[in-house]
Amino acid sequence: MIEHPWPRPVVFFEIRGKDRKALQDFYATLFGWKIDDNNPISYGRIEPGVGGPVEGVGGGIMGSDEARVLIYVQVADLNETLREAERLGGRAVLPPVDTPNGPTIAQMADPEGNLVGLVQQ
């Protein structure tokens, strides 16, 4: 068994799809992400955001009928972000809902079908 003196933080995520450039444009427009793909393999490196938790990103594990990994992006307005995602070719999957003892969340799918969670700032 590995012993850890402290919890290990999530420090990276990756979004994949058939149309790399379209996905880069979608996320850059929707979330204001700065994406640099000026490298030999055109890997779109996303700059870290401002205001994230110093400790790293928290997470959860739950039961489900299907296996998947889901990232959550903090936004100022859930409804506005869902509308903009649809305008850009994505779709709303879960309208805003208050979680028990937690934040208000929503979910969307990007143009390739990747599920992305949204959390109210």
Q: Is residue 41 part of a domain?
A: yes
pLDDT in tens, 16-41: 999 999 999 999 999 999 999 999 98
Q: Where are the beta strands (DSSP E) in 39-103?
A: 45-46, 71-75, 91-98
Q: Is residue 56 part of a domain?
A: no
What does pTM read for this prediction?
0.86
Counting every residue written for the chain, the total comes to 121
Exposed/middle/buried for 45, CB within 10 Å: 0-12, 13-18, 19+?
exposed
Q: What's the CATH number where 72 sits?
A: 3.10.180.10
Task: Calculate Rg over the CA atoms of the chain.
Answer: 16
Considering its fold, how many domains does the chain have in total? Answer: 1
Residue 79 has pLDDT above 90, yes or no: yes
Q: Is residue 58 part of a domain?
A: no
Strand partners, 120: 75
Q: Is residue 62 part of a domain?
A: no
What would the mean pLDDT of 81-85 be, rounded to a whole number? 97
